[in-house]
């Protein structure tokens, strides 16, 4: 009898203190980001004894096959960080669970920016909870431009003139990528937005890539590319930042350079400046690529889902949100109204040092757009178009194969039409 | 007695057979099945597609470009690696303190994890990397060389990096084979008046032939299947200039989300390699073996 009682007590104890494990896949690989995430997870786990959040770090290069394979093997994470086009791809597996109720509740509490949540809202549901925004701008070395008597460029012609004037003596006027990469997709898309070619799809979902505005943007890119280092044909984000920090290029189009500039140069913070992407003199519009990274929930288990929702809500609380964002200061921008005022964000030493630059980035984020997510509708073609980096392949057709901008854009139109699943 | 022995043989072979079925037969069967379906994103529903995937692949310019690149890649790697391995093995053949030291350390590129090695090379070969700094410092060039800007240069660079990683293994194998050749044979040739080169060509090389055949066969299969080095260095670019068949297959599956077509391309590649193996065994190694018998 006593044995039975002990057994019952042990089982009851086990149930009472059972922990629900919540596995989180994110792609923030740098060690200091992983460390910051772990600090936040530890604090959450301590405050929520019934949940045990575990982070598993992946990388953007591999995550598509890994996540698809995990879903197939039914070992997918409970939370998977995402960007808009990856969400479209993952939705096709049927594993992504709607988070509409959670998103509405968090929106009431914190106020999501429209540009952050819209790309995840379609088919009557919200498919991921926005977590942080990223915006591209034109970063430049203020001292270099000042020495050359050049004002920060605000138009395409000024940008070209500046890039030409700054090229020489082993230095290149600007660093823009020509690689087949997401980075090149993003940089060329800035020029497409400012040229008025931000829509890749028509309302009915047909591809409208081949149009005069797109050609104009690619012509500009081709002209500008002649002032970029030859090896920029193989650049990804880190290469551009390294070239900038090494003084090889005084201007780059990038999400942020703050951490690299601060750590790898002895220059004062004022020497790093940022402006919005220059616009064409005629018929141009202000704009830049902006998108939010978000978190999908892939579990159907009630306890795990509850744990996942509580963890995401915890990250968006202003007291913790600033610490979450400053895992990479000056790169991750708030996607909530109260997050923009969070003391934990603005008190970070790097954000204090580069406060003016961060404010410019936040302002730029209000003019943001993302390819494939501009018409209020989401079409399945954006998955393969984005995954193939087709925009950057069009750039390569110009700068490597030697096609004219018109021919390259026509090539891109055909490839995008062929990308239909 | 015979029946008991037969059962024992079956019992001993069974684990291996099961292992081969699980790791080779079932995946290939699944591959064949996939190639006849419309499977797009991994794990999604699909319908029977007949020969559509094969037609799509055969009509794809990218596929044929990748097939041509694979040929260049395999031949290029073969030539560079064999030349390097032979040269270094011959240099290390003589036993001195230096060669004893080097024959241990030469394996270092093989020991470094592939990903780390490739990323290091990528940085060293960049515009602000140590290679460009070096050749600019000694006045060989005025401006940095872009090792990945043009398809042909990118292919040559990628072959070089892959060869740098693989040739030490070949060197060690060749060196071991060389050391197994009785010195009396070389000395006899020298006594008969053969020069150093004639001795190598007419005495050493024929004795090395079995090892060279094995290396040729395995090296070709390994080279054709290399993915990591190319993907990490160039992602198959620029403009598809370094995209070999494994890159094409990966992209078809995970960027174009056409798993059925990727499976069809994998079958084509498997057939190419099988044909190569058969021809190699029939007319290369096999003929040599028959002649020896």
pLDDT in tens, A376-405: 788 888 888 988 899 999 999 999 989 999
- What's the token pair of residue A233? 């044909």
Q: Give the pLDDT of residue B200.
A: 84
Q: Is residue A127 located within the same domain as residue A81?
A: yes
Rg for chain A, CA atoms, rounded: 23
- What's the token pair of residue A290? 């902006």
Q: Give the pLDDT of residue B45.
A: 74
Q: B34 near B259, Cβ under 8 Å? A: yes
Task: For residues B239 and A401, give the distance between their C-alpha atoms in angstroms, rounded to a whole number.
Answer: 7
Say how many CB pairs under 8 Å bridge A and B: 102
Q: Domain for residue A9, yes or no?
A: no
Does A184 lie at the interface with B, CB-CB under 8 angstroms? no
Does A117 lie at the interface with B, CB-CB under 8 angstroms? no
Query: Which of these, A50, A44, A48, lies nearest to A14 by C-alpha position?
Result: A50
CB < 8 Å to B122, chain A: 234
Q: Domain for residue B23, yes or no?
A: no
Report the largest interatomic distance among the alpha carbons of chain B, rounded to a whole angstrom: 82
Q: Give me the tens of pLDDT residue by residue for chain B, a chain 293 residues long.
A: 577 788 898 899 999 999 999 999 999 999 999 999 988 877 677 888 889 999 999 999 999 999 999 999 999 999 999 899 988 988 888 888 888 888 788 888 888 888 899 989 988 998 888 998 899 888 888 878 888 888 999 999 999 999 999 999 999 999 999 888 888 888 888 888 888 888 888 888 888 888 888 888 888 999 999 999 999 999 897 888 999 999 999 999 988 889 999 999 999 999 999 998 998 888 777 677 666 66
Q: Has residue A11 got a pLDDT over 80?
A: no
Domain holding A269, by residue range, is 136-289+368-418
Q: Give the pLDDT of residue B41.
A: 76
Q: Domain for residue A254, yes or no?
A: yes
User: Between helices A390-399 and A182-194, what is the axis angle to 10°?
Assistant: 80
Q: Give the pLDDT of residue B231.
A: 92
Q: Domain for residue A151, yes or no?
A: yes
Does A233 lie at the interface with B, CB-CB under 8 angstroms? yes
Q: Is residue A338 located within the same domain as residue A395?
A: no
Q: Is residue A264 located within the same domain as residue A220?
A: yes
Domain holding B109, by residue range, is 59-292
**pLDDT, average across residues A304-323:** 95
Instruction: Check which CATH number belongs to the domain holding A270 and give it.
Output: 3.40.190.10
CB < 8 Å to B147, chain A: 231
Q: Is residue A163 located within the same domain as residue A269?
A: yes
Q: Domain for residue A10, yes or no?
A: no
- Looking at A329, A362, A395, which one is the last position of a domain? A362
Instruction: Check which CATH number belongs to the domain holding B126 and give it.
Output: 1.10.3720.10
Q: A380 near A93, Cβ under 8 Å? A: no
Residues whose CB is less than 8 angstroms from the CB of residue A82 and which lie 6 or more positions away in sequence, other chains included: A90, A128, A293, A294, A295, A296
CB < 8 Å to B235, chain A: 179-181
Q: Under the phi-then-psi rule, with left for phi > 0, alpha for psi from -120 to 50, and beta for the rest, what region is A149?
A: left
Query: Into how many domains does chain A fold?
Result: 2
Query: Into how many domains does chain B fold?
Result: 1
Whether complex ipTM tops 0.90:
no
Q: Domain for residue B43, yes or no?
A: no
List C-alpha distances in Å: A259 to A26, A256, A265, A351, B221: 20, 8, 10, 10, 44
Q: Domain for residue A14, yes or no?
A: no
Does B195 lie at the interface with A, CB-CB under 8 angstroms? no
Q: Give the pLDDT of residue B197.
A: 84
Residues whose CB is less than 8 angstroms from the CB of residue A204 and which lie 6 or more positions away in sequence, other chains included: none
**pLDDT, average across residues A196-209:** 91
Q: Do B128 and A421 touch (CB under 8 A)?
A: no
Residues whose CB is less than 8 angstroms from the CB of residue B35 and which lie 6 or more positions away in sequence, other chains included: B53, B54, B260, B263, B264, B266, B267
Q: Has residue A133 got a pLDDT over 80?
A: yes
Q: What does the mean pLDDT of chain A come to?
A: 91
CA B72 to chain centre: 12
Q: Domain for residue B45, yes or no?
A: no
Rg for chain B, CA atoms, rounded: 24
Q: Domain for residue A13, yes or no?
A: no
User: What chain B residue is nearest to A228 in terms of C-alpha separation?
Assistant: B127
What is the residue whose two structure tokens read 């069974």?
B14
Nearest-CB residue to B149 (from A71, A233, A388): A233
What is the residue whose two structure tokens read 């431009």?
A145
Burial class (CB in 10 A: 0-12, 13-18, 19+), B222: middle
Q: Is residue A68 located within the same domain as residue A142?
A: no
Nearest-CB residue to B127 (from A179, A231, A397): A231
Q: Give the pLDDT of residue B91.
A: 87
Q: Has residue A298 got a pLDDT over 90?
A: yes
Q: Domain for residue A41, yes or no?
A: yes
What is the residue whose two structure tokens read 């854009």?
A409
Q: Domain for residue A7, yes or no?
A: no
Q: Is residue A284 located within the same domain as residue A322?
A: no
Does A356 lie at the interface with B, CB-CB under 8 angstroms? no
Nearest-CB residue to A400 (from B143, B236, B239): B239
- How does residue A17 score in pLDDT terms, banded at 50, 70 and 90? low
Q: Give the pLDDT of residue A12.
A: 55
Q: Domain for residue B12, yes or no?
A: no
Nearest-CB residue to B239 (from A181, A234, A401): A401
Query: Which of these, B64, B262, B128, B240, lies nearest to A392 by C-alpha position?
Result: B240
Q: Give the pLDDT of residue A26.
A: 95
Q: Is residue A166 located within the same domain as residue A219?
A: yes
Q: Has residue A9 got a pLDDT over 80?
A: no
Tens digit of pLDDT for each residue in A231-272?
Answer: 898 898 889 999 999 999 999 999 999 989 998 899 999 999
Q: Is residue A245 located within the same domain as residue A375?
A: yes
Task: For residues A333 and A339, give the distance between their C-alpha atoms in angstroms, rounded to a whole number.
Answer: 9
Q: Has residue A203 got a pLDDT over 60?
A: yes
Q: Is residue A325 located within the same domain as residue A261?
A: no
Q: Do A421 and B257 touch (CB under 8 A)?
A: yes
Q: Give the pLDDT of residue A355.
A: 92
Tens digit of pLDDT for each residue in A42-96?
Answer: 999 999 999 999 999 998 878 888 998 899 889 999 999 999 989 998 998 899 9
Does A62 lie at the interface with B, CB-CB under 8 angstroms? no
């Amino acid at each position: 009898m006593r044995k039975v009682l002990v057994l019952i007590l042990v089982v009851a104890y086990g149930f009472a203190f059972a922990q629900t494990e919540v596995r989180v896949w994110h792609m923030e690989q740098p060690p200091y980001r992983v460390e910051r995430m772990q600090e936040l997870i530890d604090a959450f786990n301590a405050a929520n004894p019934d949940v045990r959040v575990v982070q598993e770090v992946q990388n953007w290069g591999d995550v598509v096959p890994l996540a698809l394979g995990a879903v197939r093997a039914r070992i997918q994470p409970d939370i998977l960080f995402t960007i808009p086009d990856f969400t479209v791809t993952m939705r096709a597996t049927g594993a992504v669970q709607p988070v509409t109720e959670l998103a509405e509740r968090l929106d009431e509490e914190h106020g999501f920016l429209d540009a952050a949540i819209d790309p995840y809202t379609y088919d009557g549901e919200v498919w991921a909870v926005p977590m942080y925004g990223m915006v591209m701008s034109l970063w430049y070395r203020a001292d270099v431009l000042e020495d050359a008597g050049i004002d920060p460029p605000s138009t395409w012609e000024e940008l070209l003139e500046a890039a030409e004037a700054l090229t020489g003596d082993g230095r290149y006027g600007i660093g823009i990528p020509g690689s087949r990469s997401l980075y090149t997709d993003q940089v060329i898309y800035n020029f497409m937005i400012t040229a008025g070619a931000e829509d890749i799809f028509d309302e009915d979902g047909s591809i409208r890539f081949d149009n005069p505005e797109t050609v104009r943007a690619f012509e500009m890119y081709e002209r500008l590319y002649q002032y970029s280092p030859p090896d920029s044909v193989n650049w990804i984000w880190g290469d551009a930042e390294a070239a900038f920090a090494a003084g090889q290029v005084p201007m780059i189009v990038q999400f942020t350079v703050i951490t690299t500039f601060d750590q790898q140069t002895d220059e004062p913070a004022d020497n790093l400046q940022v402006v919005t992407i220059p616009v064409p003199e005629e018929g141009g519009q202000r704009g830049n690529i902006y998108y939010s990274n978000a978190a999908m929930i892939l579990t159907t288990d009630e306890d795990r889902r509850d744990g996942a929702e509580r963890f995401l809500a915890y990250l968006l609380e202003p007291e913790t949100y600033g610490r979450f964002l400053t895992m990479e200061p000056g790169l991750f921008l708030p996607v909530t109204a109260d997050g923009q005022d969070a003391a934990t964000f603005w008190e970070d030493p790097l954000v204090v040092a580069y406060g003016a630059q961060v404010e410019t980035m936040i302002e730029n984020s209000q003019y943001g757009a993302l390819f494939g997510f501009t018409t209020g509708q989401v079409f399945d073609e954006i998955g393969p178009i984005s995954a193939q980096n087709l925009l950057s392949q069009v750039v390569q057709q110009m700068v490597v194969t030697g096609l004219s901008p018109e021919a390259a854009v026509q090539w891109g139109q055909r490839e995008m039409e062929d990308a239909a699943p | 007695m015979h029946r008991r022995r037969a059962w024992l043989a079956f019992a001993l072979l069974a684990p291996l057979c099961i292992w081969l079925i699980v790791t080779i037969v079932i995946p290939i069967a699944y591959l064949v099945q996939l190639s006849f379906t419309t499977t797009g994103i991994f794990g999604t529903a699909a319908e029977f597609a007949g020969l559509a995937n094969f037609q799509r692949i055969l009509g794809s310019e990218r596929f044929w470009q990748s097939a041509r690149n694979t040929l260049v890649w395999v031949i290029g790697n073969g030539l560079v690696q064999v030349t390097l391995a032979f040269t270094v093995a011959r240099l290390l053949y003589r036993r001195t303190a230096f060669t004893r030291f080097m024959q241990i350390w030469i394996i270092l590129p093989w020991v470094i994890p592939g990903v780390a090695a490739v990323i290091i090379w990528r940085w060293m070969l960049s515009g602000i990397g140590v290679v460009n700094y070096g050749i600019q410092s000694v006045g060989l060039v005025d401006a940095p060389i872009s090792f990945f800007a043009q398809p042909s240069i990118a292919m040559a660079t990628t072959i070089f990096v892959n060869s740098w990683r693989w040739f030490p293994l070949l060197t060690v194998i060749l060196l071991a084979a060389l050391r197994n050749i009785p010195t009396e044979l070389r000395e006899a040739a020298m006594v008969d008046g053969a020069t150093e080169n004639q001795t190598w060509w007419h005495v050493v090389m024929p004795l090395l032939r079995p090892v060279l055949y094995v290396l040729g066969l395995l090296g070709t299969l390994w080279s054709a299947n290399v993915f990591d080095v190319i993907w990490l260095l160039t992602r198959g670019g620029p403009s598809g200039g370094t995209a070999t068949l494994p890159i094409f297959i990966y992209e078809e599956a995970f960027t174009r989300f056409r798993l059925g077509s990727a499976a069809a391309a994998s079958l084509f590649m498997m057939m190419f390699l099988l044909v190569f193996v058969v021809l190699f065994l029939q007319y290369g190694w096999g003929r040599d073996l028959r002649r020896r018998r």
